[in-house]
Amino acid sequence: MRYRDLGTTGLSVSVLGFGASTLGNVFGKVGASSGERAVRHSVDRGINLFDVSPYYGIT
């Protein structure tokens, strides 16, 4: 995974992010075990940027 500095915060974030609003059942029911597997899979592959905004995709 590649990382980039997040401004001047001293944090380094993955160039790929995980859009996690679906884990809050925004677009439909997501089981806890499915959500946990998805997050663990992402972290295991180096993703450390998680976007949890519930507002994407709502019309």
Using CA atoms, how far apart are residues 54 and 37, in angstroms rounded to an integer?
20
C-beta atoms surrounding 33 within 10 Å: 8
Q: Answer whether 18's CB lies under 8 Å from 49's CB.
A: yes
Which among 19, 56, 57, 58 is annotated as catalytic? 56
**Residue 3 annotated as catalytic:** no
Q: Which residues are catalytic?
A: 56
